[in-house]
Chain A
Amino acid sequence: MSAGTFEGAPLRFADFTPGAYLGEARVVLDRERFERWRALFPAAAQVEKAPPGLLMALFMYGFAEAFAPHPDGNIHAGQTLAFTGRSLRAGDGARVSVTCREKEVKRGRNRVRFEARMCDDAGDEIMSGEMVVIWAV
């Protein structure tokens, strides 16, 4: 599997190879995202830097974009996270890169473990983590 954004049919469980780099996506913390976040969590109104939940949302967006398209019906089953303490302000960009670490069929479900990392435009890591996804197809 090559890196980058895919078009066409959704990726299937059979498409993943453990150890394979899946791609990278650039994401931007645009002001609209920040405003929507503040609509959800008004306590963030006075915060200039993205709080952890908004970083996580951006991280998930980058994860989805780095190797799209994902099939409908995927389920997020588990997650580890490590935060460096760096954050982003409205208008800042970041890159999210994703690698497939493991896949298995467990109790009849297709489980894929991914590693993802988000770095700011200077290349400094903001956060990283591993997520287990029940892949729908």
Chain B
Amino acid sequence: MQWPGNLVEAQLRASPEAIRLYAEITRDFNPLHLDAGFAAQTPFGRPIAHGTLSLAVLWEAIAVTFGPDVRPAAAEMRFLAPIAEGALISATGTRAGADDPLAATMRYDFTVSDEAGTQALAGFVEIAGGGADAAS
């Protein structure tokens, strides 16, 4: 398997509708994400996207780069800053080592940012080559 130098960038607008959909999927109705009045009383000042909604954009970048059958094997990350409601979430990644077509997994360092360049999420993901879904 060829391991490209960079992940294809994926994007998602953190619209109120997108945040609401994600809240319904996770049943996480924390008012920090959904209630402008509540969020205004917090240090964030306005609703913010769920951290794992931002992370979902990274999984999309992986799927766009490698196809739906290639899966993450492991990941580690820190949530550095919130993504404000309405922001454009972008996920990118760079291969951490030399390309090795025989490698079963490959590490990519990634960031998830808004359009102002503020990093919301950073870490690494190890991607398993084709066949990682065979167990299911």
Q: Which residues of A contact B (CB under 8 A)?
A: 33, 36-37, 39-41, 43, 46-47, 49, 51-54, 56-58, 60-61, 64-65, 70, 72-88, 124, 126
Contacts and interface: CB of A to CB of B under 8 A. Distances in A.
Contacts, number: 118
Per DSSP, chain A at the interface is mixed
Interface stretch (B75-83, B94-102, B108-116): B75-83
Per DSSP, chain B at the interface is mixed
Given A60-B26, A85-B136, A77 B79 contact: yes
Interface residues of B, number: 40
Residue of B18, B32, B55, B128 ringed by the most chain A CB atoms within 10 A: B55
A81 B75 contact: yes
7 contacts: A36-B25, A54-B25, A70-B30, A72-B31, A74-B30, A85-B134, A124-B135
Nearest to A76: B51
Contacts of A58: 26
